[in-house]
Structure 1
């Protein structure tokens, strides 16, 4: 269902990636070994996220969107986890598409589209910034920030919940539908 919703968003709105940038990222994905179908499908998913993020993200690699203090990593169509493709878009600050694979690296809070720490993920590493969750799926999260750090989750009805302190993880049963945003620290 999520894929259908995202595809609909793309077809009704203009994506945030420039057409020439889009072609360059598809070419970069092809150079990384993806088929034409995989590279195009991946770019369509990235475009859908860019549209949903409404200008709050910048594509920096074939499967990565920089959120200025967080990074959205998108798996290749048919794969369960994102993997690094092409250049490291924001290497100076540390994030890449592997920071949340297999669980959050130390210092990170990772939200996952699907259960068992799978699917697209948002790796958050900057404190004091709030990020929207672009999913309505049942997912998971991993808090591996400094000991005692508690993310603040805000629901669409305005209520809030202080999530469990680091080191903590919930691999199943996270309903992202009523979540408006998360401030990791």
Structure 2
């Protein structure tokens, strides 16, 4: 005949299971807290702004999913500031609505990122613009402060250097090599193999 399990042993086991369950939830990202709730509220707000700007619920949700994907790739180095913009602290990522080929203003525009649409269809003076796709299309990163910026794409794209005349950017590759790009004004409309590029420093 089996002996009954003492009450104290049962209590300790229950407590251990609770702690283990809590730790597992945190490790797998399922835990909730003030920071998670705040982030979810902010995302919901951007989705609402996108819908107010004329997007359908499906488009707005898909757009936010694209932005969320970029935030993961930038690993904490980017901050969403509008439905389709991520502030990169000296540069700004502009994201297209799914199904469209160029970004457009949506929702409240942040003063933090200056005129973030200087790379949309053209490149205004003072900017280096990297485009996800060829011929200045797709999502883009507009760089206005001199620094290194990560490139999150594996596509074939384009770039335009319309910074101060004579400014030369540096492109860094995954094989640890680098390439000094032509001085401003210069551009490349086709054939930029982003899958080999890790970072760009827009000015030396």
Which TM bucket (shorter chain)?
A: 0.7 to 0.9
* 1:1-185 correspondence to structure 2 within 5 Å: 18-89=39-110, 91=111, 94-96=114-116, 98-127=117-146, 129-185=147-203
For 1:95 and 1:56, locate their aligned partners in 2 and report how far apart those are by CA, in whole Å: 20
* Higher share in helix: 2
Secondary structure class of the residue paired with 1:18: helix
* Cα distance change, pair 13–137 in 1 and its aligned pair in 2 (3 A): farther
> Which structure has the larger Rg over C-alpha atoms?
2
Cα 1:177–1:125 change in 2 (3 A) is same
CA contact (8 A) 1:63 1:75 kept: yes
Structure 2 counterpart SS, 1:170: strand
Which portions of structure 1, spanning 4 or more consecutive aligned residues, are displaced by more than 3 angstroms? none
* Distance (whole Å) between structure 2 residues aligned to residue 113 and residue 172 of structure 1: 11
Task: Give the C-alpha shift of residue 161 in structure 1.
Answer: 0.6
Q: How many equivalent pairs are there?
A: 170
Q: Are the aligned partners of 2:102 and 2:120 in contact in 1 as well (CA < 8 Å)?
A: yes
Q: CA deviation at 1:92?
A: 5.1
The answer to whether the Cα contact below 8 Å between 2:92 and 2:113 also exists between their aligned partners in 1 is no
Q: Distance in 1 between matches of 2:188 and 2:84?
A: 25
Deviations 1:50-73 (A, max 9, x none): 011100000000000000000000
RMSD: 1.7
Give the deviation of 1:13 after TM superposition: 7.8
Listed as ranges, the gaps of 5+ residues in structure 2 are 1-27, 31-35
Q: TM-score, normalised by structure 1?
A: 0.88
Shift of 1:95: 3.1
Q: State the distance in 1 between where 2:175 and 2:84 align.
A: 32
Query: Any stretches of 5+ residues in structure 1 without a counterpart?
Result: 1-11
